[in-house]
């Protein structure tokens, strides 16, 4: 059984602002990214925009107990449900399933600093550490480190209470969230799914991890494609994207506005080496049957090596087609790269700026993915 899978709701927030029109307008003009180069110097980031949280998260208590990446994700999921006309449809949301791509939560820097300082002079460091972890990290705070709390908070705030799954694993978990959501609907296992991700780039712990790997860009802002010539590097960006996916027949029965059709998502995990990325992308391109002239959105990282290979491959696969890098506009939101690219690609088709659009993801260390949207027939 293979049913057409369509997009009926898109929620998108980044440093550019919120909503698909904001992002499509940014894509149409010369890149004017919003950069914070001071707060985490020498590492620039694309910061979260000012958001009126009350619009999608009514209770202040709910807002307070969430970390920034959770608030961002819950807010954006609300935008997607609202766009799909499901915000107030409690019965439909009770059946809707959810797949979230997420990282491991955020650290409490104050507690970490106090514990590390105390360890220096502790007579029994092991006992001291156990005592402080048990007393300083309250159960609610400890649970807030778990990646599946984004799905939990979406269920609490928005009432999406069907089965949920949370995937972890850098860029590829976002690809697989979309891949499995599409496959489950197409196969008849479920009629509707909420799928997406959120990422907070404004965190010293994330910056530390990437800097230890040598992945961060430390110069003034430069476009993604230009960075490899200067050594390459990521500029992280705070962003979130959620899509409401439905079987076409269900969307039509409830009179939903169909934005685009989501074709089967392609994914691979190639052993990296010279020529591996172009070979993988060519295989994904063929698997997705991408038509000539399709608009291409790349989630390229700017990291040396893979970025040049991705650009070379896409230039061959889509000759003469403008190649847009989402990283030029909103940075690299790690787990959310594929959902963000997918949201913009779907919006391009929905707005009839493109009849076919693909979003590519080449992970900074591993994994490749391709998401294709077409006009619903």
Tokens of 86: 């499901």
Which domains does the chain show, CATH number per domain?
5-106+144-374 (3.40.47.10), 109-137 (no CATH)
pLDDT at position 65 = 87
Cα-to-chain-centroid distance, residue 258:
22
Question: Which ranges in 187-325 belong to alpha helices (H)?
Answer: 204-212, 248-253, 276-287, 306-317
**Predicted local confidence at residue 147, as pLDDT:** 81
Residue ranges of the chain with per-residue pLDDT less than 70: 1, 107, 137-145
β 239-247/5-14 pair status: antiparallel
Separation of alpha carbons 136 and 214, rounded Å? 33
pTM above 0.85, yes or no: yes
Q: Cis peptide before 14, with omega less than 30 degrees from 0?
A: no
Say which residues have a Cβ less than 8 Å from residue 304's Cβ, sequence separation at least 6.
227, 228, 231, 232, 233
Q: Give me the pLDDT at residue 79, please.
A: 98
Query: For residue 7, what are the contacts with CB-CB under 8 A and spacing of at least 6?
Result: 243, 244, 245, 258, 259, 260, 261, 262, 346, 350, 373
Backbone torsions φ then ψ of 122, nearest 5 degrees? -70, 135
Give Cα 198 distance to the centre of its chain: 5
* β-bridge partners, 153: none
pLDDT at 115: 86
User: From CA 44, how far away is CA 218, in angstroms rounded?
Assistant: 7
For residue 145, what pLDDT is reported?
A: 56
Question: What pLDDT, on the 0 to 100 scale, is given for residue 114?
Answer: 85
303-324 pLDDT, tens digit each = 999 999 999 999 999 999 988 9
Instruction: Name the residue among 17, 96, 21, 82 with its Cα closest to residue 51.
Output: 17
- How confident is the model at residue 248, as a pLDDT? 97
Q: Phi, psi (5° rounding) for residue 232? A: 80, 165
Instruction: Round to whole Å and give the CA distance between 247 and 251.
Output: 6
What is the rounded radius of gyration, in angstroms, for the C-alpha atoms of the chain?
Answer: 21
Q: At what angle do helices 276-287 and 306-317 cross, to 10 degrees?
A: 40
């Amino acid at each position: 059984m293979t049913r057409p899978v369509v997009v009926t709701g898109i929620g998108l927030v980044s440093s550019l602002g919120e909503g698909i029109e904001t992002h499509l307008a940014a894509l149409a003009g010369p890149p004017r990214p919003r950069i914070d180069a001071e707060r985490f110097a020498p590492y620039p980031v694309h910061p979260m925009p000012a958001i009126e949280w009350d619009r999608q998260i009514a209770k202040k208590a709910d807002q307070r107990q969430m970390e920034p990446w959770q608030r961002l994700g819950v807010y954006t999921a609300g935008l997607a449900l609202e766009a799909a006309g499901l915000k107030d449809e409690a019965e439909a949301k009770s059946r809707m399933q959810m797949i979230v791509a997420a990282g491991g939560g955020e650290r409490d820097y104050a507690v970490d600093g106090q514990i590390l300082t105390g360890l220096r002079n502790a007579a029994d460091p092991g006992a001291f550490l156990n005592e402080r972890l048990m007393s300083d990290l309250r159960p609610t705070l400890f649970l807030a480190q778990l990646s599946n709390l984004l799905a939990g908070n979406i269920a609490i705030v928005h009432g999406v209470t069907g089965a949920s799954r949370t995937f972890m694993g850098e860029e590829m978990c976002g690809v697989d969230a979309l891949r499995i959501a599409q496959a489950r609907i197409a196969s008849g296992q479920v009629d509707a799914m909420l799928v997406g991700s959120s990422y907070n780039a404004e965190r010293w712990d994330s910056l530390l991890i990437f800097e230890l790997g040598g992945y961060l860009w430390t110069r003034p802002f430069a476009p993604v494609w230009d960075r490899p010539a200067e050594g390459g590097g990521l500029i992280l960006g705070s962003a979130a994207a959620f899509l409401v996916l439905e079987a076409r027949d269900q969307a039509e029965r409830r009179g939903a506005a169909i934005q685009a059709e989501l074709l089967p998502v392609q994914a691979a995990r190639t052993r990296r080496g010279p020529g591996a990325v172009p070979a993988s992308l060519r295989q994904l391109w063929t698997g997705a049957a991408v038509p000539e002239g399709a608009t291409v959105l790349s989630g390229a990282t700017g990291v040396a090596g893979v970025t040049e290979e991705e650009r070379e491959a896409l230039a061959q696969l889509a000759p003469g087609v403008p190649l847009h890098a989402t990283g030029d506009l909103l940075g690299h939101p790690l787990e959310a790269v594929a959902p963000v690219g997918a949201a913009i690609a779907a919006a391009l088709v929905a707005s009839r700026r493109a009849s076919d659009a693909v979003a590519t993801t080449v992970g900074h260390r591993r994994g490749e993915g391709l998401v294709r949207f077409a006009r619903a027939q």
